[in-house]
Amino acid sequence: MLGLLAAIAAVFFLAWFVTRAVAINGSFNGKGKHFTVLEKFPVAKDSYIMLIKSFGKLLLVGVTSGGMTVLREFDEDSIDLESFVPEKQSFSSIFKTTLESTLPDGKIKDAINRFSKNKKGGGDDE
């Protein structure tokens, strides 16, 4: 019985060790010998837009479960990636923008707006 427990412990240790060695080696960090994934943006459940740097080119690639498509190709020198600063937005502004673009005007939108105002101002109705 003790030998069986030792064997199971050895299997778990080897699984942990191999996973750790692969992660440290760089197989899962988006970097390879000739390309680097600079950014990955989820669009839907199984689709992404990726910015890949390879051989002096920047590739904007659409990735789905069915395959990959190059959407646009740029020369690395033509774009200064350091000058692009992502715009920081609060969750509430993103949420309100999404509401305005997806929900029709009506009771649902009004109720959500009242709820968000009550949360911010402490709610005079309570």
Q: What φ, ψ does residue 103 adopt, rounded to 5°?
A: -90, 140
Per-residue pLDDT of the chain (126 residues; tens, 9 = 90+): 888 999 999 999 999 888 877 666 544 556 667 788 888 888 888 888 988 888 888 889 998 888 889 898 888 777 776 666 666 777 887 777 776 666 666 566 677 777 777 766 554 544
Q: Is residue 63 part of a domain?
A: yes
Containing domain of residue 115, as a range?
91-121
In a shared domain, residues 62 and 78: yes
**Do 40 and 75 sit in the same domain of this protein?**
yes
Residues 36 and 68 in one domain: yes
Domain count of the fold of the chain:
3
Domain for residue 126, yes or no? no
Contacts of 107 (CB under 8 A, 6+ apart): none
Q: Do 22 and 37 reside in the same domain of the chain?
A: no
Tell me, yes or no, whether 57 and 101 share the same domain.
no
**pTM: predicted TM-score of the whole model, two decimal places:** 0.44
